[in-house]
Chain A
Amino acid sequence: MSELTLFLVRIAYLAILWIFVLSAISVIRSDMFGARVPTPAGPGKQPKPPKAPAPRRGQPKEVAVVQGVNTGIVADLANAPVLIGRGNDAAIRLDDDYVSTRHARIVSSGGQWYVEDLGSTNGTYIGSQRLTQPVPVGLGSQIRIGKTIVELRK
């Protein structure tokens, strides 16, 4: 075994070692940037869009103001998340002095509706409980926002 051959073997082995290290790193790199966010246009997952608008029995369809200055305002839950507040971009615009510009919103997750306080000054209440995190709400739950009460309806 000549000196040169052994030298080449040594260099070749170090090259293999580093090729392995670098390919491991490149797999990590592609793993970081290569994750995909599933799109509704994906080839295998088509049945979702037609299902969503179909109204379900026993599920709320709209949110209505039942007490306060703006009694009678109704917003469709199909445009969720529904923003409630005094601002112009709110889906339910309240003229209540105790309501913040972006007060609370109603969102859907996993087929369940939640009400979430958006850091309002005077708080959002269900019963006597002030909300500190998104809380599930069902049909007829009374959500108190300032001097206004809203609830989910069919």
Chain B
Amino acid sequence: MATNSALMGFVHRRRRGAELFLLILALLVGVGAYAAVGLGVDGEVPTNLIGYGGWLTLLVVAAHVAVRRVAPYADPVLLPVVAALNGLGLAIIHRLDLARETGLASQQLTWMTLGVVLFIGTLVVLPDHRLLARFTYTSGLAAIALLILPMLPVLGTEINGARIWISVGPFSFQPGEIAKLLLVVTFAGYLVVHRDALALAGRRVLFLDLPRGRDLGPILMMWVVSLGILILQRDLGSSLLFFGLFLVMLYVATERPGWIVVGGLMFFSGAAVAVKIFSHVQNRVDIWLDPFADPSGSGYQLVQALYGFAWGGLIGRGLGEGMPERVPYAESDFILAAIGEELGLTAVMAVLLLYGLVVERALRAALISRDGFGKLVATGLAAVFALQIFVVIGGVTRLIPLTGLTTPFLSYGGSSLVANWVIIAILLRISDQARRPVPDLNEQQDDPDEQQTQIVKVVPS
């Protein structure tokens, strides 16, 4: 009790001023990159710098004001970090646009606007993250429906061998990006209720507490779902992401390493079989092992990216002075190669550190959150983020076989950007709830009979 009350007395500051300061720096990062691209490519500051910078400032200020009003205790670092990453990504996409004469950057800016609008909307509509616990099974169903949508004959479209898009009219959308958010909510809601059964029953073999056979149901189901994504949609990255996410959340909820061992074995055996059976997985592994076997054919993309990193060196060629457009899909999966070429290792490390900060703040929110559901959602979102970054950056730098996933906030891609803004909004909501001081219950100590009826904020779990 004593330690508890000491913890309750610990009050976080709001730090909205610090957030504003960091946001100004983040704008400098985004607009500075845009100006530097103009200087590097055309030799002059782009003429629409004022308009572009003004629009970016407007978005950032709108997000900041929304946080100030509806989530005053939220974490001060998350929003500036993602704003900076998004700004840097926009500038790099603009740089590739200039080289290829495409117009992706303005589309990306539209998507970012939509993302910020949804970010503000999420914060306003969701006053308490525990409301999400009501939609445990609904969101699970929605996630599965979203994952199945691209398989449907009319809606689904196959782009570059992966059937993960749906197209409605002129828009194409990747439902998997929204599904990962819904799956986090589902897992958190499920595990917070069932974790005792999963944690306590089981046998001890050597040093490991192995789970009971009948508790393997959910993990088997998740394994089948992720294998299904791998086989039917040919999307290596998403299947790894979903299964990894489920394992991490299971481990965090039950504190039993047995799950990691069982799940890891299942994943690697599934992956080994997939390598043998499916040619597209086999291809990826071959390229990974020896990209120079066919440098102008199948290995072209990876080889060009590796040359890009090498050519960039420690401080890069300078924005607008490299040749990042040589890498196919440099604006989406391989955007880190473009950054590595034009800004060098120095900037790549900064970007990785920024991603690390996002994951750290999410885990921090999970640590200080007072309810199990909030803890699990924050951990799950941190895991999604970390896994996705590891998978895509590991693939681009040839640490692991390449799998198709977007780099959060940097890559071109509307669905990913919008989904990530919503993820950040939910993280801010959880951290706002966690850092908010506990309402002082000792203030009203009068006779209960003399007190007025109060409206009590209760969210059923």
Contacts and interface: CB of A to CB of B under 8 A. Distances in A.
The bracket for how many chain B residues form the interface is 35 or more
Contacts of A114: 1
Contact of A24 (B12, B81, B441): B81
Contact of B76 (A11, A13, A27, A51): A27
B319 A10 contact: yes
A9 B447 contact: no
A56 B76 contact: no
Contacts of B354: 21, 24
Interface residues of A, number: 42
Given A1-B43, A10-B318, A28-B77, 15 more contacts: A1-B44, A6-B40, A9-B40, A16-B28, A17-B343, A20-B84, A20-B350, A23-B22, A24-B22, A27-B18, A35-B11, A35-B13, A57-B447, A58-B449, A111-B445
Given A19-B25, A31-B76, A114-B1, A13 B357 contact: no
A152 interface: no
A114 B33 CA distance: 60
Contacts of A21: 350, 353-354, 357
A34 B84 CA distance: 25
B13 A34 contact: yes
Interface of B: 1-2, 5-6, 9-13, 15, 18, 21-22, 25-26, 28-29, 32-33, 36, 39-40, 43-44, 76-77, 80-81, 84, 88, 315-316, 318-319, 321, 343-344, 346-347, 350, 353-354, 357, 360-361, 437, 441-449
Contact of B13 (A5, A36, A48, A58): A36
B77 A24 contact: yes
B5 A9 contact: no
A38 B8 CA distance: 10
A73 interface: no
Contacts of B350: 14, 17-18, 20-21
A1 B42 CA distance: 9
